[in-house]
């Protein structure tokens, strides 16, 4: 059964979506940002989490 949760990459802190039990998931997925293996207890597929804009992006937009 597929499930998903959100959390930062333990290496580069990029917001990621952890999709468990989906097609292509594995227990040692690569971070899509820093390409470092993230070991998980369940088969997981990693995706960049673009659903939550970071405060830094917002401040840069304001500065411009």
Question: At closest approach, how far in Å is the CB of 1 from Zn ion?
Answer: 26
* 30 counts as binding Zn ion under rule CB under 5 A: no
* 17 counts as binding Zn ion under rule CB under 5 A: no
- Provide long-range contacts, Cβ within 8 A and 24+ apart, for 31-38: 33/9, 34/9, 36/9, 36/11, 36/12, 38/9, 38/10, 38/11
* 4 counts as binding Zn ion under rule CB under 5 A: no
Choice from 4, 27, 30, 34 touching Zn ion (CB under 5 A): 34
* 2 counts as binding Zn ion under rule CB under 5 A: no
């Amino acid at each position: 059964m597929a499930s998903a949760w959100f959390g930062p990459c333990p290496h580069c802190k990029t917001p990621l979506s952890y999709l468990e039990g989906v097609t292509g998931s594995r227990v040692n997925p690569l971070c899509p940002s820093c390409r470092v293996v993230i070991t998980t207890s369940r088969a997981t597929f990693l995706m960049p989490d673009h659903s939550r804009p970071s405060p830094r992006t917002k401040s840069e937009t304001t500065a411009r």
